[in-house]
């Protein structure tokens, strides 16, 4: 018997691997990173157990190369969460661990925060008379005065002073008036708490009262119409949590983490705020992560992967826009940050708050079953009134590039009244199709079962599924005609139509193309917010969380694209999108109006949204899911396979079927080709599993998946499992 250490290492391993302790030095503790040999390479891994006895012969094991962390990087609660997630989502634990770590730690770099230099006064500096150097050295005088006012100066403050501040300070140091010292610098934002919160209304108070930071676990769903003051309730609960000395984790969708949100948090909360999202530089991410772990950050605002960040003293978790699809990772480790956050809160015995104006059907079902407390905020806070909504029947209407005359008239009247109009179309580019008017040829991506989108501004065709681009052809490759026409609507086309219809009011377009440059999104939003631009158009980048007080008209340019989607979740997504976009209207004193252009005004989904709002839609949708035996009433998993070979994915899944453990409680559908069979040059197929209980589904997956990797057909494909898939 040998004592071994178990190490989770990235790779296709369903368990941690066994290693011998390092040749010299003590055995590493659980939770530290180590470097281990793997094949001929070296990898960074996390110690998950040991030393423990192994039945493997010592001569078949290799020793750990070295131990990276002097003390555990991950605490037991964080490790348990990651292990749980790896098991539940059937993902290799080593990969799950690495997903949870910032890049630098993944690469084995030290877990130490950035350092910063600060300048402070010496006794001589305190006694010095700035006036004495007024004429000879005005800059020295200025900095000496600044130091005497504030005691210390940090790099951030120096940036505010500007110019040659550093070299001037160096001269003060040489004269013995100032000295420097270095300190860890986590790059946290200071909460200023310099603005009072609104006095909560009755509904908000009832909701806030349910969130009790020290009373143990509770899951609270805040189902509040847009502008009802959900964020105010979060802020109230967060402030109370901070008063109890607890940390708060706030998880938001990628696009929801805006400078406005951060500023609002800073202006209302005291304590230090850490931001965690994928757009940060590696060093910034590491700092924020370490600050959360050390308990130096009081509030952590982050996107999806922040759900794994270690917290020294957790007190509350908030998930904003809990319905948002970006909370579920769509590739690799396909975890749901929302579901893991709820689990994490339960295990840490702290409250979790899920907020949305359009809660996911999953969360509404959890509320109906008593697992979540359901709190509705039915009224807009302050003076804002709910917007009026109406359908604009497009049938037979003359249109100008997709804008009907009644819509153009409506925009005009809002502009005349001094309002702002926002037009929403969830498709960027000029047109989704380019067609030859002579022979009917369509510009199709040769790697996907999809058409190219025509981007007029860039003069290119772009496939939104695989990112392939090509120059716009000037003649049809099939018949040679030059009569190539754009078919259908994209934001660029609406922009052109608006520019023509309203020459006095240039529109601002907000989508992923127009905001590629760093800071351009913020600039555009700024122009929209100050009212500098009165016509705003864009994709769902506009739909979330932004407060645009002067918008009085919201137009949904084309509701039809979502009405007949193949995915059973398409209606839910359309309803959420319509309600979220509509919520941008009339958020301040002026009443708002929402118009929806459609060729199907009688469609039940639109009728329901119009007359009963999201709650009416959700009730019907849940009943339909129940009748169809779909989530959230049943648990679902997809096994996906893809390959460059056309037949391999289906062949693999067909070979997999007979290996499944027999269990009548788990229904199997397929294998089928995926809805878009070919994507990025790969053919795709999938197999769907449905079960009344999660544990049955999990038992079948656990008994089945290990056998799949051993199938000879598995070598021809890439395959993966998606538990609780968000898209099919």
Helices (H) and strands (E) in the chain, counts: 21, 33
Q: Is 227 a binder of ligand ADP (CB under 6 A)?
A: yes
- Max Cα distance, the chain (Å): 91
For residues 234 and 208, give the distance between their C-alpha atoms in angstroms, rounded to a whole number.
Answer: 8
476 labeled part of a ligand binding site: yes
Question: Shortest gap between Cβ of 368 and ligand ADP (angstroms)?
Answer: 22
Range in contact with ligand ADP (rule: CB under 6 A) among 194-202, 267-275, 574-582, 621-629:
194-202
For residues 653 and 658, give the distance between their C-alpha atoms in angstroms, rounded to a whole number.
Answer: 10
Three-state SS for 347? helix
Range in contact with ligand ADP (rule: CB under 6 A) among 110-118, 197-205, 672-680, 697-705:
197-205
Q: Total binding residues for ligand ADP by CB under 6 A? A: 15
Q: Is 223 a binder of ligand ADP (CB under 6 A)?
A: no
Contact indicator for 305, 78 with CB cutoff of 8 Å: no
Q: Which one, 267 or 399, has the nearer CB to ligand ADP?
A: 267
Three-state SS for 497? helix
Please state at what angle helix 93-100 crosses helix 76-88, rounded to 10 degrees: 130
Contact of residue 448 among Zn ion, ligand ADP, none (CB under 5-8 Å per partner type): Zn ion
How many CB atoms are closer than 10 A to CB 602?
Answer: 9
Q: Which one, 165 or 381, has the nearer CB to ligand ADP?
A: 381
Contact indicator for 472, 436 with CB cutoff of 8 Å: no
Question: Shortest gap between Cβ of 197 and ligand ADP (angstroms)?
Answer: 8
Contact indicator for 302, 309 with CB cutoff of 8 Å: yes
Q: Which one, 355 or 632, has the nearer CB to ligand ADP?
A: 355
- The residue within the footprint of ligand ADP, chosen from 93, 102, 213, 229 (CB under 6 A), is 229
Whose CA is closest to 6, among 57, 38, 45? 45
Specify which residues 161 forms β-bridges with. Answer: none
Contact indicator for 282, 308 with CB cutoff of 8 Å: no
- Exposure on the CB side of residue 632, measured as CA atoms within 13 A: 17
Q: Is 436 a binder of Zn ion (CB under 5 A)?
A: yes
DSSP 39-85: TTEEEEEEEEEEEEEESS-GGG--B--EE--SS-SS-HHHHHHHHHH
Question: Shortest gap between Cβ of 649 and Zn ion (angstroms)?
Answer: 18
Contact of residue 608 among Zn ion, ligand ADP, none (CB under 5-8 Å per partner type): none
Q: Is 94 a binder of ligand ADP (CB under 6 A)?
A: no
For residues 233 and 227, give the distance between their C-alpha atoms in angstroms, rounded to a whole number.
Answer: 12
- The residue within the footprint of ligand ADP, chosen from 53, 56, 58, 198 (CB under 6 A), is 198
The secondary element (H helix, E strand) that includes residue 409 is: helix 405-416
Range in contact with Zn ion (rule: CB under 5 A) among 97-105, 123-131, 363-371, 465-473:
465-473
Q: Which one, 47 or 235, has the nearer CB to ligand ADP?
A: 235
Contact indicator for 472, 460 with CB cutoff of 8 Å: yes
Whose CA is closest to 434, among 475, 378, 491, 401? 475
Whose CA is closest to 227, among 547, 536, 537? 547
Secondary-structure percent of the chain, ordered helix, strand, coil, rounded to 5: 35, 25, 40
Q: Which one, 310 or 351, has the nearer CB to ligand ADP?
A: 351
Whose CA is closest to 416, among 552, 563, 581? 552
Structure token digits, residue 71: 């003390």
Question: Mask: binding to Zn ion, 479-518, rule CB under 5 A, as x and -?
Answer: x-x-------------------------------------
Question: Shortest gap between Cβ of 382 and ligand ADP (angstroms)?
Answer: 3
- By beta carbon distance, the residue nearest ligand ADP is 229
Question: Shortest gap between Cβ of 263 and ligand ADP (angstroms)?
Answer: 13
- The residue within the footprint of ligand ADP, chosen from 204, 329, 360, 598 (CB under 6 A), is 204
β-bridge pairing 420-424 and 433-436? unpaired
Contact of residue 201 among Zn ion, ligand ADP, none (CB under 5-8 Å per partner type): ligand ADP
- The DSSP letter of residue 431 is B
Q: How far from 196 is each of 206, 211, 638, CA to CA, in Å?
A: 20, 20, 48
Range in contact with Zn ion (rule: CB under 5 A) among 150-158, 239-247, 436-444, 644-652:
436-444
Three-state SS for 35? strand
Question: Mask: binding to Zn ion, 358-377, rule CB under 5 A, as x and -?
Answer: --------------------
Q: Which one, 204 or 241, has the nearer CB to ligand ADP?
A: 204
Q: Is 43 a binder of ligand ADP (CB under 6 A)?
A: no
244 labeled part of a ligand binding site: no
Q: Is 201 a binder of ligand ADP (CB under 6 A)?
A: yes
- The residue within the footprint of Zn ion, chosen from 34, 350, 367, 445 (CB under 5 A), is 445
Range in contact with ligand ADP (rule: CB under 6 A) among 16-24, 90-98, 222-230, 330-338:
222-230
- The residue within the footprint of ligand ADP, chosen from 18, 69, 203, 232 (CB under 6 A), is 232
Contact of residue 58 among Zn ion, ligand ADP, none (CB under 5-8 Å per partner type): none
Contact of residue 231 among ligand ADP, Zn ion, none (CB under 5-8 Å per partner type): ligand ADP
Question: Shortest gap between Cβ of 568 and Zn ion (angstroms)?
Answer: 25
Contact of residue 568 among ligand ADP, Zn ion, none (CB under 5-8 Å per partner type): none
Question: Shortest gap between Cβ of 433 and ligand ADP (angstroms)?
Answer: 36
Task: Judge residue 406's burial from the number of C-beta atoms within 10 Å of its C-beta, 0-12 exposed, 13-18 middle, 19 or more buried.
Answer: middle
Question: Mask: binding to Zn ion, 48-77, rule CB under 5 A, as x and -?
Answer: ------------------------------
Residue carrying the six token digits 């420097």: 180
How many CB atoms are closer than 10 A to CB 626?
Answer: 13
Question: Shortest gap between Cβ of 511 and Zn ion (angstroms)?
Answer: 19
Structure token digits, residue 699: 């038992």
Q: Is 463 a binder of Zn ion (CB under 5 A)?
A: yes
Contact of residue 200 among Zn ion, ligand ADP, none (CB under 5-8 Å per partner type): ligand ADP
479 labeled part of a ligand binding site: yes
Structure token digits, residue 178: 């100032």
Whose CA is closest to 71, among 40, 115, 26? 26
Structure token digits, residue 383: 């003076």
Q: What phi and psi values does residue 676 have, to the nearest 5 degrees?
A: -110, 100
Q: Which one, 587 or 679, has the nearer CB to Zn ion?
A: 679
Question: Mask: binding to ligand ADP, 379-398, rule CB under 6 A, as x and -?
Answer: --xx----------------
Task: Judge residue 496's burial from the number of C-beta atoms within 10 Å of its C-beta, 0-12 exposed, 13-18 middle, 19 or more buried.
Answer: middle
- The residue within the footprint of ligand ADP, chosen from 78, 140, 231, 363 (CB under 6 A), is 231
Q: Which one, 231 or 552, has the nearer CB to ligand ADP?
A: 231
| Interface residues toward Zn ion, by CB under 5 A | 436, 438-439, 441, 445, 447-448, 463, 465-466, 468, 476, 478-479, 481
Provide the annotated binding site for Zn(2+): 436, 439, 445, 448, 463, 466, 476, 479
Provide the annotated binding site: 436, 439, 445, 448, 463, 466, 476, 479
| Interface residues toward ligand ADP, by CB under 6 A | 198-201, 204, 224, 226-232, 381-382
């Amino acid at each position: 018997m040998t004592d071994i250490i178990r190490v989770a290492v990235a790779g296709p391993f369903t368990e941690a691997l066994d290693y011998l302790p390092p040749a010299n030095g003590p055995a590493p503790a659980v939770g530290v990173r180590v470097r281990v040999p793997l094949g001929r390479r070296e990898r960074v891994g996390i110690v998950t157990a040991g030393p423990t006895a192994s039945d493997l012969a010592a001569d078949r094991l290799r020793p750990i190369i070295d131990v990276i962390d002097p003390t555990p990087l991950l605490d037991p609660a964080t490790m348990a969460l990651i292990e749980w997630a790896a098991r539940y989502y059937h993902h290799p634990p080593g990969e799950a661990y690495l997903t949870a770590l910032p890049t630098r730690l993944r690469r084995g770099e030290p877990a130490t925060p950035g350092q910063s230099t600060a300048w402070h006064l010496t006794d001589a500096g305190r006694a010095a008379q700035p006036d004495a150097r007024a004429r000879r050295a005005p800059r020295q005088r200025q900095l000496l005065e600044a130091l005497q006012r504030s005691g210390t100066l940090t790099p951030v403050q120096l940036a505010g002073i500007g110019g040659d501040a550093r070299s001037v300070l160096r001269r003060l140091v040489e004269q013995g008036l100032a000295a420097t010292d270095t300190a860890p610098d986590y790059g946290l934002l200071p909460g200023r708490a310099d603005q009072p919160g609104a006095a909560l209304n009755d509904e908000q108070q009832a909701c806030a009262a349910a969130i009790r930071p020290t009373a143990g676990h509770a899951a609270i769903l805040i189902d509040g119409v847009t502008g009802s003051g959900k964020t105010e309730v979060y802020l109230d609960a967060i402030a109370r949590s901070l008063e109890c000395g607890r940390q708060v984790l706030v998880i938001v969708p990628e696009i929801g983490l805006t400078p406005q949100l951060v500023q609002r948090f800073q202006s209302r909360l005291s304590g230090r705020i850490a931001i965690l999202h994928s757009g940060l530089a590696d060093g910034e991410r590491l700092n924020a992560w370490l600050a959360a772990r050390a308990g130096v950050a009081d509030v952590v605002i982050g996107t999806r992967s922040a759900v794994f960040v270690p917290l020294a003293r957790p007190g509350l978790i908030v998930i904003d826009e809990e319905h948002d699809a970006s909370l579920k990772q769509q590739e690799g480790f396909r975890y749901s940050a929302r579901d893991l956050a709820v689990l994490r809160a339960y295990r840490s015995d702290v409250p979790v708050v899920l907020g949305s104006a359009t809660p996911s059907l999953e969360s509404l079902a959890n509320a109906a079953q008593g697992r979540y407390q359901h709190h509705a905020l039915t009224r807009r806070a302050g003076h804002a009134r709910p917007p009026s909504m109406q359908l604009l029947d497009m049938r037979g209407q003359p249109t100008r590039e997709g804008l009907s005359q009644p819509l153009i008239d409506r925009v005009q009247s809002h502009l005349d009244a001094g309002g702002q109009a926002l037009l929403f179309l969830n498709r960027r580019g000029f047109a989704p199709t380019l067609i030859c008017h002579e022979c009917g040829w369509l510009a199709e991506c040769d790697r996907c079962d999809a058409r190219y989108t025509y981007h007029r501004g860039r003069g290119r065709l772009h496939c939104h599924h695989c990112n392939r681009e090509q120059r716009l052809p000037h003649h049809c490759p099939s018949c040679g005609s030059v009569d190539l026409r754009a078919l259908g609507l994209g934001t660029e086309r609406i922009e052109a139509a608006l520019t023509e219809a309203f020459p006095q009011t240039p529109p601002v377009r907000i989508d992923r193309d127009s905001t590629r440059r760093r800071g351009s999104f913020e600039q555009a939003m700024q122009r929209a917010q100050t009212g500098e631009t009165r016509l705003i158009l864009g994709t769902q980048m506009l739909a979330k969380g932004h407060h645009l007080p002067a918008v009085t008209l919201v137009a949904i340019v084309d509701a039809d694209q979502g009405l007949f989607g193949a995915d059973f979740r398409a209606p839910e997504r359309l309803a959420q999108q319509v309600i979220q976009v509509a919520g941008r209207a009339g958020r301040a004193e002026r009443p708002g109006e929402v118009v929806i252009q459609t060729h199907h005004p009688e469609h039940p989904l639109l009728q329901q949204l119009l007359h009963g709002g999201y709650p009416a839609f959700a009730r019907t949708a849940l009943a339909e899911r129940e009748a169809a035996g779909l989530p959230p009433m049943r648990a679902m998993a997809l096994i996906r396979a893809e390959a460059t070979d056309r037949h391999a994915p289906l062949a693999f899944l067909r070979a997999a079927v007979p290996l499944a453990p027999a269990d009548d409680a788990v229904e199997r559908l397929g294998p089928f080709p995926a809805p878009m069979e070919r994507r990025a040059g790969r053919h795709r197929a999938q197999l769907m599993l449905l079960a009344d209980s999660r544990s049955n589904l999990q038992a079948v997956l656990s008994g089945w998946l290990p056998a799949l990797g051993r199938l000879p057909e598995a070598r021809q494909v890439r395959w993966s499992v998606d538990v609780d898939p968000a898209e099919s």
